[in-house]
């Protein structure tokens, strides 16, 4: 079990690095650890309870590695990691990692605008954990709400987001759980649902609330979500507010290596170009050009 504990601790450390510095830094480390260390543990002789514990720990590491591959834009690779995570979680009878991985696959699908597949995966994740506690239920229902909204199912989206809010209230009354689904994540989902249903001002408001309550260690999420917030502020005509929000995103951007963050900066440069006669837009554009990857600038 000491080797199981080591794999679990390593996964936690890599997850922290991913949150703070992005998947491009952390994924190669996780992949190397899986190949050079964890694979041999999975082949080793062990009592059944130790074998299952190692399978569970390995599935969690595979899920995280898949998530980081998504962050890099390596979607085929991410799916291979996710499928292997499901296989090991199933062998270990680990319902939490199994449903978390299905939800991760749903997040990947909804971000790629495959709404029907995302909905199918989100529903499967919820079904895989019928006895989930309130925080996990909020975690799953929030994703169901987002996918339902993307497929145009307004009634289901609103029902699921109310369920997520109620579950989060119950979870928060039991004490805060740092490092899991929290009020910032819930407000992100509320924002996504409102946006998909056409309420852009409401989406801006919810994303601002998400940013306000996000833990400071989630630097990569802060960059991505502030950039998304700025895009929506611009969409409703608030150019200078959008520029200010984009500047906040750029404050953290040089410290992370993330394909998804690069995509948001590239989108920003394209969106701001038509407004370069505005002084705030010009200042933002000039700043971004000095720190964005050449591929984004070009």
pLDDT value at residue 32: 96
pLDDT value at residue 131: 75
Exposure of 208 in the CB half-sphere (CA atoms within 13 A):
13
**pTM confidence score:** 0.92
Give the pLDDT confidence of 60-71 residue by residue, as tens digits: 999 999 999 999
pLDDT value at residue 174: 63
Give the pLDDT confidence of 88-115 residue by residue, as tens digits: 999 999 999 999 999 999 999 999 999 9
Give the pLDDT confidence of 32-47 residue by residue, as tens digits: 999 999 999 999 999 9
pLDDT more than 70, % of the chain: 97
Mean residue pLDDT of the chain comes to 94
pLDDT at 177 over 60: no
* For residues 276-283, average pLDDT: 97
- Least confident among 11-25, 40-54, 98-112, 171-185: 171-185
Q: Say how far apart CA 128 and CA 37 lie, in whole Å.
A: 29
Domain positions in the chain are 1-93, 94-217
* For residues 121-133, average pLDDT: 87
pLDDT value at residue 175: 57
pLDDT at 176 over 70: no
Give the pLDDT confidence of 215-257 residue by residue, as tens digits: 888 999 999 999 999 999 999 999 999 999 999 999 999 999 9
pLDDT value at residue 292: 87
pLDDT value at residue 25: 87
pLDDT at 74 over 50: yes
One CATH from 3.30.420.40, 1.25.40.10, 1.20.140.10, 2.60.120.10 for 94-217: 1.25.40.10
pLDDT value at residue 112: 96
CB atoms within 10 A of CB 99: 23
């Amino acid at each position: 079990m000491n080797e199981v504990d080591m794999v679990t601790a390593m996964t936690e450390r890599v997850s922290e690095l991913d949150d703070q510095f992005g998947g491009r830094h952390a994924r190669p480390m996780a992949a190397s650890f899986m190949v050079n260390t964890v694979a041999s543990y999975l082949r080793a002789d062990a009592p059944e309870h130790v074998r299952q514990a190692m399978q569970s720990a390995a599935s969690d590491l595979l899920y995280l590695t898949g998530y980081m591959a998504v962050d890099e834009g390596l979607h085929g690779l991410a799916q291979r990691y996710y499928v292997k995570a499901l296989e090991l979680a199933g062998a270990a009878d680990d319902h939490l990692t199994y449903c978390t991985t299905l939800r991760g696959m749903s997040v990947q699908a909804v971000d790629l605008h495959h709404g029907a597949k995302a909905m199918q995966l989100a529903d499967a994740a919820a079904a895989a954990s019928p006895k989930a506690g309130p925080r996990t239920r909020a975690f799953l229902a929030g994703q169901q709400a987002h996918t339902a909204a993307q497929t145009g199912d307004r009634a289901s989206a609103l029902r699921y987001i109310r369920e997520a809010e109620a579950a989060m209230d119950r979870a928060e009354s039991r004490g805060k759980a740092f490092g899991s689904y929290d009020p910032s994540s819930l407000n992100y989902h509320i924002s996504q649902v409102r946006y998909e249903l056409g309420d852009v001002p409401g989406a801006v408001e919810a994303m601002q609330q998400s940013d306000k309550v996000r833990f400071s260690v989630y630097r990569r999420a802060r960059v991505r979500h502030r950039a998304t917030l700025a895009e929506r502020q611009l969409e409703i005509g608030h150019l200078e507010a959008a520029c200010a929000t984009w500047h906040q995103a750029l404050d953290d951007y040089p410290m992370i290596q993330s394909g998804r963050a690069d995509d948001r900066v590239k989108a920003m440069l394209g969106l701001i170009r038509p407004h370069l006669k505005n002084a705030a837009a010009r200042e933002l554009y000039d700043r971004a050009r000095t720190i964005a990857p050449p591929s984004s600038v070009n």
